[in-house]
Amino acid sequence: MTTINAPAELPALQLLIDAMQDAVAIVAPDGTILAVNKTWRQFSVDNGGDQSSHYIGTNYFGACEGPNGASDDLAGSIAQGLRDVLNTGTDFITEYPCHTPTEKRWFEVVANPFDIDGERYALVAHRNITTRKLAQVEVAYAEQNAQNLAAIVTTMPDAVIAFDLDGQITSWNPAAETLYGYTREEAIGQSMEMLYPPDWPKRITTYIAEIIVSELKNFDVIRKTKWDELRTIAVTAAPIRSRDGDIIGISNVHRDVTVEREAEQKLRSVLDNLFAFVGILDPDGTLLEANKAPLQAAGLEAKDVIGKKFWECYWWTYNDEVAHQLQSDIARVLKGETVRYDTQVQVANGRLVWIDFQMAPMRDATGNIVNVVPSGIDISDRKAAVEKLEQSHETFKNLVDRSPFGVYTVDADFRLAHVSQGASAAFANVNPLIGHDFSDVMHTLWPDEFAEEAIARFRHTLATGEPYHAEPLVEQRLDVGEVESYDWMIERIVMPDGRLGVVCNFYDLSEREKYEQHIRLLMSEVNHRSKNLLAVVLSMARQTARNSTPSEFVELFSQRLLGLSTSQNLIVEGSWSGVSVTNLAEMQLKHLGPEILGQRIKMDGPDITVSPTAAEGIGMALHELSTNALKYGALSVPEGGVDLVWSIDQNKDAFKIQWREHDGPEVVPPTRTGFGRTVIERMAANSVDGSVDIKYATSGLVWQLKAPLEDVEQARDS
Amino acid sequence: MTKKILLVEDETLIALDIEFAIADANCHVIGTAQTVDEGLSMLDSMPCDGVVLDANLGGHSVQPIIEHLQAKALPYIVVSGYTRDQLEFLPEEAVLIGKPFSMTELVDAIRRHLG
């Protein structure tokens, strides 16, 4: 151990160094550490150094160079530096790292010589310079970064432009020059507004303000190049901050998207002009995008629907069920299905329009479903056409159903497909009707032989398309046992399902035959009646001939024939159901002329209707009575007259008609029974099953017919 | 001996005509019936040698009278506007005179079949 020659000033120096922040030691000319300050001691404690002496009395060189020192080049250089300070009186300063396992530290060691009593001592101070050192590293990095950034900016394909808060350009990269045509020199210091098209509505200061409050980060603008070309520019903007965090400018990245936007615009205009609906939904059903057509159709703006749940949008609000359907459909689409069906959407004024609606999944590159794409096409025209077709089909169906012809169809599977109302009577015993096997149907209705033949005909027509018109069929029905007659024909047709079928038209001749039978009966009845009438006429002619001279015959017979004809006319006019007595009397007496009829004949009686037979008998009697009165009776003299009265008695069961002549010439009862007498007596009485009373009173002839009312009124068909 | 003939005819004028024909054939009309019931009751109450009858009386067929005559084997002549095929009930051997008839034809028939 070396003897320490501590200078007398050491205590004062000790006080001085204790006040210093750095770790300081005073080193004797031989390198012995004479004193250390508080910082040194503390550092020594903190770092596990010598706790007893804190290196006081040890040789600094030994500490540096000895086996326990910092055994590296740095320690050697520090020892050498300290020697130089002590030997030559120069200052020494150097830095060294002194890292702990947990902390990076850098120190600066400074050795300064000072003389006391001709001896040279050194003041060695260790100063922690970690903070300064780190700042230097940071600056170095920052510089490197800045260089890198500058290189990136320079080589970036996008225009990078910076400008200050006044809008004056401060930075302009080569891509900006390419985009806008201005060189860096031309651009720097200019206002950003030099790039604005004429009449651009927004000032640069407004942009800056919006960018600063971050309302604007990405936006599209139109900008003008040096050559006055307008370009669509997608701008990405951010504020530039100083190291202190103050905003000092704005950075812009400009990308020319003119071509892309034009393409997008074209696509959108195509979509917008389509009368089709196309949209994009989030997986949760939120409408993200929609083209113009559905908006315009419904009188909506984008903001009315974008961001809403798709099923809550106006188009669907006409019906809750539709909304539920859409939700479940979207769930299906998210599982990968595509749904498609016809539905209605609500357009302006609540009108509903039919659309062909589809929802399909949209997948990303990895195949995950990221969106739902609903689309629809207006098919109201098609729907209307279909409805019209259905209506016309309905009309034809009605026509067929109400046709007197029977119409039915047999489908490709040989089953009854449709049976008109006119045909259903013929199939009354087939149950069920529609879908019934046609072979079975035929065997139900007809005997085997005819059934087999008909089935073969149907199969042939179905297979070949050859129509077949059958000979009128007369056959006994198996089910009802009656002989029926049909006229039928078959043709091949295309059925509604697009397959072939056979249509059969048939006409029930049995009905027609029944009708013809009826006509034949009527004809024979008419024939009988006319023969009967001719027989009556012939009899009348014979009777007239028996009681008249040939010269009188024609006149008498003609008058009687006219009388008979008059009654027949009234009978036919009354459709054989009855004749009014008033009419009958007027018509039968018409031949007397209006003067006699109006003044000399009094008619009175209720307006009752008598049977055709009664009309015939009474009519002929009135004819005979009137012609006789004109020839021989009351009407043969100017003052004579006739009262014709008829009545129904109080019990309403007897009819009476009376012909009473008055003021005529003297009455002479006839000596023989002529035709006239037969008519007024027998014929009249027989026609009503009544009785006739004739009185040849001097005042004039009185003829009276009495009969039960029911025999007068009831038609006695002959 | 003059044959007694029953006439069944509801048309008065024709009945009158037939009465003359019967008289011309030297027969005698014992009665004229106008209905089926009347005819049947007259047949029961008045013995006769033959009948001239219409086929249809007031819409009613004279079939019951024909059956009665067939049963009693009485000769008869049918006078009708109907043809034979329209009168199904008429036996084939029955004599049918169509209306309108000629007097000669009817008188001949009465003479031959009833006289």
Please report, for chain A, the start and end positions of each structural domain, with discontinuous segments joined by +.
10-133, 156-261, 274-383, 386-506, 547-713
Phi, psi dihedral angles at A525 (to 5 degrees) = -65, -45
User: Which uninterrupted H or E stretch holds A261?
Assistant: helix A258-273
- Cis peptide preceding B91, ω within 30 of 0: no
Could A539 and B98 be called an inter-chain contact, meaning their C-beta atoms sit closer than 8 Å? no
Rounded to an integer, the average pLDDT of A596-617 is 90
Rounded to an integer, the average pLDDT of A674-703 is 87
User: Which uninterrupted H or E stretch holds A14?
Assistant: helix A10-18
Of all residues in chain A, the one with the smallest CA distance to B100 is A535
Going by pLDDT thresholds of 50, 70 and 90, the confidence category of residue A192 is very high
Q: Tell me which long-range contacts A478-482 makes (C-beta under 8 A, separation of at least 24).
A: A478/A443, A478/A444, A478/A445, A478/A446, A478/A447, A479/A429, A479/A444, A479/A445, A480/A429, A482/A510
Could B81 and A682 be called an inter-chain contact, meaning their C-beta atoms sit closer than 8 Å? no
Rounded to an integer, the average pLDDT of A284-312 is 87
Distance from CA of A657 to the nearest CA of B (A): 20
Could B11 and A543 be called an inter-chain contact, meaning their C-beta atoms sit closer than 8 Å? no
Going by pLDDT thresholds of 50, 70 and 90, the confidence category of residue A143 is confident
pLDDT at A378: 80
> What is the DSSP secondary-structure string of A80-119?
HHHHHHHHH---EEEEEE---SS---EEEEEEEEEEETTE
Q: Give A269 or A211, the one with higher predicted confidence.
A: A211
Chain B neighbors of A613, CB-CB under 8 A: 58
Interface probe for A, chosen from B11, B13, B86 (most Cβ of A below 10 Å), is B13
Q: Give A219 or A216, the one with higher predicted confidence.
A: A219
Could A538 and B57 be called an inter-chain contact, meaning their C-beta atoms sit closer than 8 Å? no
Could B14 and A535 be called an inter-chain contact, meaning their C-beta atoms sit closer than 8 Å? yes
Residue A541 has pLDDT above 50, yes or no: yes
Amino acid, res. A63: A
Rounded to an integer, the average pLDDT of A12-30 is 85
Could B59 and A718 be called an inter-chain contact, meaning their C-beta atoms sit closer than 8 Å? yes
Residue A400 has pLDDT above 80, yes or no: no
Rounded to an integer, the average pLDDT of A283-294 is 87
pLDDT at A68: 42
CATH number of the domain that residue B69 is part of: 3.40.50.2300
Distance from CA of B87 to the nearest CA of A (A): 12
Is any Cβ of chain A less than 8 angstroms from the Cβ of B23? Answer: no
Q: Which CATH superfamily groups domain A274-383?
A: PAS domain (3.30.450.20)
Percent of chain A exceeding pLDDT 90 equals: 26
Q: Which domain holds residue B107?
A: 4-114
pLDDT at A635: 93
Q: Is A14 exposed, middle or buried (0-12, 13-18, 19+ CB in 10 A)?
A: middle
Of all residues in chain B, the one with the smallest CA distance to A685 is B12
Of all residues in chain A, the one with the smallest CA distance to B86 is A524
Rounded to an integer, the average pLDDT of A652-680 is 86
pLDDT at A286: 92
Could A528 and B81 be called an inter-chain contact, meaning their C-beta atoms sit closer than 8 Å? yes
Could B57 and A543 be called an inter-chain contact, meaning their C-beta atoms sit closer than 8 Å? no
Residues B30-75: tens digit of each pLDDT: 999 989 999 999 999 999 999 999 998 878 899 999 999 999 999 9
Is any Cβ of chain B less than 8 angstroms from the Cβ of A539? Answer: yes
Residues A609-651: tens digit of each pLDDT: 998 888 888 999 999 999 999 988 999 999 999 999 999 988 8
Query: Which CATH code of 3.20.20.30, 3.40.50.300, 3.30.450.20, 3.30.70.260 fits the domain covering A10-133?
Result: 3.30.450.20
Is any Cβ of chain B less than 8 angstroms from the Cβ of A94? Answer: no
The most confident of A145-159, A524-538, B28-42, by mean pLDDT: B28-42
* Residue keyed to tokens 């034949």: A520
- A92-97 and A106-116 strand pairing: antiparallel
Residues A352-393: tens digit of each pLDDT: 888 888 898 988 888 888 899 888 888 877 777 778 878 777
Distance from CA of B93 to the nearest CA of A (A): 22
Residue A718 has pLDDT above 50, yes or no: no
The most confident of A180-189, A376-385, B79-88, by mean pLDDT: A180-189
Phi, psi dihedral angles at A596 (to 5 degrees) = -65, -45
Residue A55 has pLDDT above 80, yes or no: no
- Residue A388, both tokens: 């019209």
Q: Is A547-713 the same fold as A156-261?
A: no
What distance in Å separates the CA atoms of residue A88 and residue A190, rounded to the nearest whole number?
62
pLDDT at A190: 93
Which candidate, A660, A652, A659, places its Cα nearest to that of A713? A652
Residue B107 has pLDDT above 90, yes or no: yes
User: Which uninterrupted H or E stretch holds A289?
Assistant: strand A287-290
Topology (CATH) of A547-713? Heat Shock Protein 90 (3.30.565)
Note whether B33 and B6 are within 8 A (CB).
yes
Task: Give the CA distances from residue A528 to residues A521, A522, A540, A578, B35, in Å, rounded to whole numbers and listed in that order.
Answer: 10, 10, 18, 20, 18
pLDDT at A584: 92
pLDDT at A66: 43
The most confident of A2-6, A265-269, A381-385, A426-430, by mean pLDDT: A426-430
Lowest mean pLDDT among A169-173, A350-354, A585-589, B91-95: A350-354
Angle between helices A550-573 and A581-588 (to 10 degrees): 150
pLDDT at B105: 92
For chain A, the average pLDDT equals: 85
Cβ neighbours of residue A699 under 8 Å, at least 6 residues apart?
Answer: A661, A662, A663
Residues A436-450: tens digit of each pLDDT: 999 999 999 899 999
Distance from CA of A682 to the nearest CA of B (A): 7
Which residues between 66 and 85 in chain A have a beta carbon less than 8 angstroms from any beta carbon of chain B? none
pLDDT at A270: 64
pLDDT at A65: 53
What distance in Å separates the CA atoms of residue A164 and residue A580, rounded to the nearest whole number?
125
Of all residues in chain B, the one with the smallest CA distance to A525 is B82
Measure CA of the first residue to CA of the last residue in chain B; give whole Å. 10
pLDDT at A275: 58
pLDDT at A89: 86
Note whether A280 and A306 are within 8 A (CB).
no
Phi, psi dihedral angles at A701 (to 5 degrees) = -70, 140
Domain count of chain B? 1
* Residue keyed to tokens 């030691």: A25
Lowest mean pLDDT among A456-465, A533-542, A597-606, A702-711: A533-542
pLDDT at A183: 93
Could B100 and A538 be called an inter-chain contact, meaning their C-beta atoms sit closer than 8 Å? yes
- Residue A8, both tokens: 């007398």
Topology (CATH) of A156-261? Beta-Lactamase (3.30.450)
Distance from CA of A472 to the nearest CA of B (A): 27
Distance from CA of B102 to the nearest CA of A (A): 9
Give the three-class secondary structure for A264: helix
Of all residues in chain A, the one with the smallest CA distance to B56 is A718
- Residue A432, both tokens: 């069920």
Going by pLDDT thresholds of 50, 70 and 90, the confidence category of residue A67 is very low
Residue A188 has pLDDT above 90, yes or no: yes
Top CATH class of A386-506 equals alpha beta
Going by pLDDT thresholds of 50, 70 and 90, the confidence category of residue A581 is very high
Q: Is A543 exposed, middle or buried (0-12, 13-18, 19+ CB in 10 A)?
A: buried
How many contiguous H segments (helices) and E segments (strands) does chain B have? 4, 7
Residue A7 has pLDDT above 80, yes or no: no
